[in-house]
Amino acid sequence: MIQLKKIDKYYDSRFQRTFILKGVNLEVKQGEFVSIMGPSGAGKSTLLNIIGLLDEASAGEYYFWDEPAHQIKEKQKVMYHRSHIGFIFQAFHLIDELNVYENIETPLVYRGVKGKERKALVADLLDRFNIVAKKDLFPSQLSGGQQQLVAVARAIIGSPKLLLADEPTGNLHSEQGEMIMSLLKKLNEEGMTIIQVTHNEKFAQYGTRIVKLVDGLVQEDYPVTNRS
Partner 1 sequence: MHLAMKNTLKPIIRNFIRKPAINLINLFGLAISLVFVIILSVYCYNELTTDTHHAGGDRIYLIGKPGAGMNTPAILKPHIDMEVPGVEASIRVAGTWQAPVFQTENGEPITSDLIFSDPDFFSFFNYKTVEGDCAAALNNPMSVVITKPLANKLFGRNSALGETIKYNNEKLLTVSAVIEKPTGNSFLNFSALTSIETRKILQPSEGEFKEWGWSNFQTYLLLGENADPTQVAKTIFSVFPKEFQKWVEEIHLIKLKDVYFSNLQTFGAHHVSMGDKTKALILLFVAVLILIIALVNFINISSSQWMERIKQTGVLKVIGATRIIIFRKVLSETFLVFIAAVILALVIMAGITPIIQSYTGIQFSTKLISSPKLLSILFTATLVFSLILSLIPGFSISSSKAVNNLKRSVDQNSKKTYLRNGLITLQYVISIVLIAFTTLIYKQVEFGSNNLVFNQENTIAVKLTPQLDKNIIKDEFEKIPEVQNVSMSQFYPGKQLSSWGTRLKLDGQEHEVHFTTFSADAEFFSIMNLEIVQGRLYSDASEKDKNKVIVNETFLKEFNIENPVGGTFEMNNNFDYEIIGVMKDFHFKSVENAIGPLAIINQGYASYGLATIQAGDFNSLSSTLKKINQVASQISPAFPVEVSFLDSAVKNMYESEVRFRRTFSLFSISAVIICAMGILAMSIFASQRRIKEIGIRKVNGAKVSEILSMLNKDFVKWVLIAFVIATPVAYYAMNRWLENFAYKTNLSWWIFALAGKLALGIALLTVSWQSWRAATRNPVEALRYE
Query: Whole-angstrom Cα distance, residue 163 to residue 184?
Result: 9
- Residues 8-37: x/- map of binding to partner 1 (CB under 8 A)? ------------------------------
If the CB atoms of residues 81 and 212 are measured against partner 1, the closer one turns out to be 81
Binding test (CB under 8 A) with partner 1, winner from 154, 167, 193, 198: 154
The residue among 170, 143, 151 whose CA lies nearest residue 88 is 151
Angle at 211 between CA 210 and CA 215, to 5 degrees: 145
Residue 73 DSSP code: -
DSSP string, 122-178: HHHHHHHTT-GGGTT--GGGS-HHHHHHHHHHHHHTT--SEEEEESTTTTS-HHHHH
Task: Report in angstroms how near the CB of residue 202 gets to partner 1 at its nearest.
Answer: 26
Report the length, in residues, of the chain.
228
Binding test (CB under 8 A) with partner 1, winner from 12, 66, 96, 190: 96
If the CB atoms of residues 95 and 120 are measured against partner 1, the closer one turns out to be 95
If the CB atoms of residues 107 and 145 are measured against partner 1, the closer one turns out to be 107
Binding test (CB under 8 A) with partner 1, winner from 68, 115, 191, 223: 115
Handedness of CA 110, 124, 172, 40 (dihedral sign): negative
Residue 110 near partner 1 by CB under 8 A: yes
If the CB atoms of residues 16 and 112 are measured against partner 1, the closer one turns out to be 112
Residues 104/146, Cβ–Cβ less than 8 Å: no
| Residues lying near partner 1 in the complex (CB under 8 A) | 49, 52, 54-55, 74-75, 78, 81-82, 87, 89, 93-98, 102, 106-107, 109-111, 115, 138, 154-155, 158
